[in-house]
Amino acid sequence: MLMAEKRSPLAAIVLSVITLGIYALYWFYSTSKELINEAGEDSSPALWLIGLFVPLVNFIVFWKYSKTYDKALGTDDSLVIFLLFVVIFPAAIYIVQDKINEELHS
């Protein structure tokens, strides 16, 4: 069973906007840590967070996050999640958090 914190997807987006992206970084780190633990991977969410600030490396981080999301939650949505992170970050936040919350209730 997924060990994660239940968060409101809409609140995550609103807080990200209000804090000018600072909450989005916190959310990314927190969910990365939860998904990495669930997937049993040997990755560092802190390094992923740092990678977001490095041009081109951020695409690798988003791809790795998407693949870990698939592995941890048993989905096959990595390409969609990756594209959403790159193009419409708030939509990615909403979908990922909604799926995490859904897994917490099952």
Within-domain flag for 63: yes
Assigned domain for 21 exists:
yes
Q: What is the pTM of this model?
A: 0.94
Domain count, the chain: 1
2 falls within a domain: no
Pair 93, 15: CB distance under 8 Å? no
Question: Residue 5 CB: number of other CB atoms within 10 A?
Answer: 11
C-alpha–C-alpha distance, residues 73 and 2, integer Å: 8
- Residue 26, domain member (yes or no): yes
The verdict on residue 4 lying in a domain is no
Q: Which residues of the chain have pLDDT under 50?
A: none
Residue 23: inside a domain, yes or no?
Answer: yes
In a domain, 93, yes or no: yes
Residue 106, pLDDT score: 77
- Residue 63, domain extent: 9-105
